[in-house]
Amino acid sequence: MTGRFVYDPASFKGAEHAGWERVAPGYAGAWRLETVLAALYDTTGRQERARRMALVAYRHALRTGCALAENRAGTLLDRLAMGSRRRPRAT
């Protein structure tokens, strides 16, 4: 099984706080996952957590050197910083 990714749920525990570099070193697409997490937090009414995750996503997008990544993550960060206009979903 050399070279294959083996899913280990324990390795993902706390990934949002530890940073994706620890889970998947060198993963340039981490900003995508983090923007999705930020949007999910926002729609569930956890705005402060959403803003923090969007900031992490933006920082990772900057590291990629990709203008599209920077633009998308920055747009989400701006929207969340101004306050979301969405209502939280009922849980």
Question: Per the structure block, which two tokens stand in for 17?
Answer: 């706080």
In a domain, 9, yes or no: no
Phi-psi region of 23 (alpha: psi -120 to 50; beta: other; left: phi over 0): alpha
- Alpha-helical regions (H) of 1-91: 9-12, 15-18, 20-23, 30-43, 47-64, 67-81
pLDDT per position as a tens digit, 1-58: 455 655 555 555 555 555 555 555 566 788 999 999 999 999 999 999 999 999 999 9
- Secondary structure class of 70 (helix, strand, coil): helix
In a domain, 36, yes or no: yes
Q: pLDDT tier at 85 (50, 70, 90 boundaries)?
A: low
Q: pLDDT tier at 74 (50, 70, 90 boundaries)?
A: very high
In a domain, 3, yes or no: no
pTM of the model: 0.65
In a domain, 21, yes or no: no
Q: Give pLDDT, residue 81.
A: 87
In a domain, 47, yes or no: yes
In a domain, 13, yes or no: no
In a domain, 68, yes or no: yes
Q: Which domain holds residue 38?
A: 28-86
In a domain, 14, yes or no: no
- Looking at the structure of the chain, the number of domains it has is 1
Could you give the CA distance from residue 87 to residue 29 in angstroms, rounded to a whole number? 28
Nearest Cα to 34, choosing from 2, 4, 64? 64
Q: Give pLDDT, residue 1.
A: 45
